[in-house]
Amino acid sequence: MAHLVPLLVAIPLAGGFLMPLVGRLTGRRRSAAALPILLAAGVLVLSVWLLLAADEPLTYWVGGWDFPVGISLVADGLSRLMAVVVATISLVALLFSIDYMARFTSPGLYYGLFLLMVAGMNGVVLSGDLFNMFVFIEVAGIASYALVAFGTESDELEASFKYLVLGTVASAFLLVGIALVYNVTGHLNWAKVGEAIQTAGGAPLPLQVAAAFFLMGFGLKAAMVPFHAWLPDAHPSAPAPISAMLSGVLIKASGVYALARFVFSVFDGDPALGWILVVLGVLSMVIGALMATGQDDFKRLLAYSSISQVGYVVLALGAAAVMRARGVSPTVVGLAVFGGLFHLANHAVFKALLFLCSGSVEYATGTRQLKDLGGIGTRMPVTGACLRVAALSISGVPPLNGFWSKLFIIVALVLGEMYVLAAVTAVVSFLTLMYYAKVQRYVLGGEPSERVTRAREAPLGMCAASVLLAVLCFGSSLMAVPAVRRRVLAPATEAVTAGVQAGRQGRTITVERDKAAPTDSRAAAVEPLRGGSPRPPRAAESLADGTAGAETRRAEPLARRAALDVGEAP
């Protein structure tokens, strides 16, 4: 059960390594998608199982190093929720890719990059180590740079270049932040860093500087205004399923999730950081929405809307941190976090759906200009219906999921006595409704142009993927139902609101070293710590006699083999 945690990374990784080889066998046939879809489905099943089966957070020490010298994987409620979101959207995007990507060459490379991006995101959301998180952010990031440019047209290459350059700047900032954190605390494990900060009674100045670097780095990855310059180019340029992945999950996994972890689990919901999140969130919300209103390009509009919607999540998290510090009742804090995370999951669903629909429309008509798309709903009934569901959902029309999450955020803000923020949120919701009404008017109503009358409904795979997500738009409203909520979102909320405590909860999985050692088992588990301890356990003694201390030991049976090997060597 606990071993599922590394498998969530290892499975897509293996698939990614294999795909360039498999792609050579399948050529450009659609069967190239079979292996990735199988693996993504497997990952989805595993992550859902992980979400539903275990109640307590798991800390999994990779390589069995329980002493915090190793890298830990942390699967608490938040990580599990993110893993499920990533797996869901990636499976649907892969289904969509079967037909959509038939127009592109080299499916082997495409699916390889796709799976590696998924592996990178799973790595990010499961990592318990700052540097490890950085490495997997890079995996996901580099895969996405390449995928944005996958069509190799000049605007795609330019968008990818811009994205890559800003992504690299973000990485450099993160690395500087990590260097400062390591210098000051001596740890890379975020739970330990959080503990050190708490012991010192708040972050000292060098760590505040580090926090600034982290904020800039993650802010760039999450495309918060004013770090958003790359997103409106990169997201529309990518192939539609990749746009869905980027907007739906990537900016959340390597941006918002990382920010939440960092602000809550490392800095214990520092109110100053909370205010910064609030400001970034409000700026993103308002500016994203205003920019989206003026767009004529369908996918660009969606990209700006992503900035705006992610702003909601960041605002909710920041407000929660502020309220927590102000001593507002934990229920309200929990409600704010709950609303934010709920909106995060919902946005993944409806934004992915919107991008997939835009992909279907572009596939059928060859254009992304809203003005040329009039009447497409009648020519493409399935896509049109899905588009309508998604647009209503993102505008917050009940009973679709977007309504509930926005409602929770606004209610939490009101209960937390942050009336101005609540008003801003409501106004931005109205703006969202406005520009999606525009989308609906152009795309679904109006006189069909010549281009549109020639359009036919998208192929089966693409429709199926869209319908799946449209169903999820209704289905994920269920997460507001108390029974489901307790199971799915409450542990995630708990993981955030617990702050630094989150790193200390739950079960630890590592190798029981030296099982044969006759001393008490707890001491054996601590074995790596006991460098200067007076006497090793007995099993080690016999070894030491035989080989003059010439080797280090591992678990007992292996140590015996080592003794044999070494016995012959000298």
Partner 1 sequence: MQGMSPIVKNITRLVAGFIVLFGAYIVLYGHVTPGGGFTGGVILAGGLALVVLAFGEAFARNVLTHEVAKVADSMGALLFLLVAVLGFAGGVFFTNFLPAGTLGHLVSAGTIPIANLGIGIKVGAGLFGAFLALAAFRRTTGAGQERADVLQSHS
Partner 2 sequence: MTLAMLPFMLAFLLLVAGLYAIVAKRNLIKVIVGILVLDYAANLLLVLMGYRTPPVGKAPVAPILTGGWAQAEELAASAVDPVPQALILTSIVIGLSVTALVVALAVRLYEKYGTFDTELMRNLKG
Partner 3 sequence: MDPILWILLALLGFMLIGSLIAIETRDLLSSVICVGAVGFGTSLVFLLLGAPDLAITQVVVEILVLVVLVRVVITRRDETHATSRSTLPVGVVLLALGVMAAVVFGVLASREADEDLRLAPFGRPRMTRQVDAAALAPAGRPDLAPAGTEPASVGGAYLKHGLTADEASRGSGAANYVMGVLLDYRAYDTLGEATVIFVAVIGAYAVLRKVGRSRHAGNESDR
> Rule CB under 8 A: which of 48-77 touch partner 1?
60-64
Span between the terminal Cα atoms of the chain, in Å: 43
The H-or-E segment that residue 16 falls in is helix 4-26
Place of tokens 């809550």: 264
Q: Site residues for partner 1, window 16-45 (CB under 8 A)? A: 17-18, 20-21, 24
Among 4, 76, 82, 145, binds partner 3 (CB under 8 A): 145
Q: Which of 3, 103, 522, 535 binds partner 1 (CB under 8 A)?
A: 3
Q: Which of 104, 78, 89 is nearest to 44 (CA)?
A: 89
Its sign, for the CA torsion 174, 283, 470, 406, is positive
Largest CA-CA distance found in the chain, in angstroms, rounded: 91
| Binding partner of 171, given partner 2, partner 1, partner 3, none, CB within 5-8 angstroms per partner class | partner 2
Report H helices in 149-256: 154-185, 190-199, 205-222, 231-237, 240-245, 251
Residue 24 or 504: the one with the smaller Cβ distance to partner 1 is: 24
Site for partner 3 in 490-519 (CB under 8 A): 503-505, 508, 513
417 binds partner 1 (CB under 8 A): no
CB 419 → partner 3: shortest distance, Å? Answer: 37
Q: Does 165 bind partner 2 (CB under 8 A)?
A: yes
Smallest separation (angstroms) from partner 1 to the CB of 91: 22
d(CA 365, CA 133) in angstroms, rounded, equals 41
Q: Interface residues for partner 3 in 6-45 (CB under 8 A)?
A: 13, 16-17, 20, 28
Q: Is beta strand 507-509 parallel, antiparallel or unpaired with respect to 71-75?
A: unpaired
Q: Does 196 bind partner 3 (CB under 8 A)?
A: yes
Cis before 536 (ω within 30): no
Residues contacting 497, CB < 8 A, separation 6+: 264, 269, 320, 324, 330, 333, 334, 337
With a CB cutoff of 8 Å and minimum separation 6, the contacts of 346 are 393, 401, 402, 404, 405, 473, 476
- Return the residue matching tokens 């919607």: 309
Q: How far is CA 463 from the centre of its chain?
A: 25
Among the listed residues 381, 398, 549, 557, the single contact to partner 2 using CB under 8 A: 549
Q: Are strands 507-509 and 58-62 parallel, antiparallel or unpaired?
A: parallel
Residue with Cβ nearer partner 2 (161 or 275):
161
Which of partner 2, partner 3, partner 1, none binds 195 (CB below 5-8 Å, type-dependent)? partner 3
* Residue 126 near partner 1 by CB under 8 A: no
Least Cβ distance, residue 86 to partner 2 (angstroms):
22
State yes or no: residue 385 binds partner 1 (CB under 8 A).
Answer: no
Half-sphere exposure of 174 (CA within 13 A, CB side): 27
Closest distance to partner 1 from the beta carbon of 191 (Å): 18
109 within 8 A of 41, measured Cβ to Cβ: no
Nearer to partner 1, 37 or 555 (CB): 555
550 binds partner 2 (CB under 8 A): yes
Binders of partner 2 among residues 390 to 419 (CB under 8 A) are: none
Place of tokens 């020490």: 61
Taking CB under 8 A as the binding criterion, the range among 144-152, 275-283, 362-370, 440-448 that sits at the site for partner 2 is 144-152
Q: Give the number of residues in contact with partner 3, rule: CB under 8 A.
A: 103
Bond before 239 cis per omega within 30 degrees: no
**Binding partner of residue 99 among partner 1, partner 2, partner 3, none, CB cut-off 5 to 8 Å per kind:** partner 3
For partner 1, which is the closer residue by CB, 16 or 269? 16
Q: CA angle at residue 15 from 12 to 18, to 5 degrees?
A: 155
Q: CA nearest 351: which of 396, 297, 305?
A: 305
Using CB under 8 A as the criterion, what x/- string covers residues 511-550 for binding partner 1? xx-------------------------------------x
Please, which residues bridge with residue 369 across strands?
A: 297
Interacting partner of 21 out of partner 1, partner 3, partner 2, none (Cβ under 5 to 8 A depending on kind): partner 1
**Footprint on residues 543-562 left by partner 1 (CB under 8 A):** 550-555, 558-559, 561-562
Find the shortest distance in angstroms from Cβ 100 to partner 3.
Answer: 10
Segment (H or E) for 507? strand 507-509
Shortest reach from residue 50's CB to partner 3, in Å:
18
Start-end of H helices in 380-481: 381-395, 401-415, 419-444, 450-453, 460-475
Residue from the set 175, 397, 467, 490 that interacts with partner 2 by CB under 8 A: 175
Does 31 engage in binding with partner 2 (CB under 8 A)? no
CB nearer to partner 1: give 6 or 448: 6
314, two tokens: 């960041």
Site for partner 2 in 118-137 (CB under 8 A): 131, 135
| Rounded Cα–Cα distance for residues 314 and 336 (Å) | 11
Q: Which residues are within 8 A (CB) of 437 and not within 5 positions of it... i.e. 6 or more apart?
A: 395
Cα 413–Cα 84–Cα 177 angle in degrees, nearest 5: 65
* One-letter identity of residue 238: A
For strand 58-62 and strand 71-75, is the pairing parallel, antiparallel, or unpaired? antiparallel
Q: Is the dihedral of CA 544, 545, 549, 550 positive or negative?
A: negative
Residue 165 touches which of partner 2, partner 1, partner 3, none (Cβ within 5-8 Å per kind): partner 2
Which of partner 1, partner 3, partner 2, none does 18 bind, CB closer than 5 to 8 A by kind?
partner 1
565 binds, among partner 2, partner 1, partner 3, none (CB under 5 to 8 A by kind): partner 1
Write out the residues near partner 1 by the rule CB under 8 A: 3, 6-7, 10, 13-14, 17-18, 20-21, 24, 60-64, 509-512, 550-555, 558-559, 561-562, 565-566, 569-570
Write out the residues near partner 2 by the rule CB under 8 A: 131, 135, 138, 142, 145-146, 149, 152, 154-155, 157-162, 164-165, 168-169, 171-172, 175-176, 178-179, 182-183, 188, 229, 233, 549-550
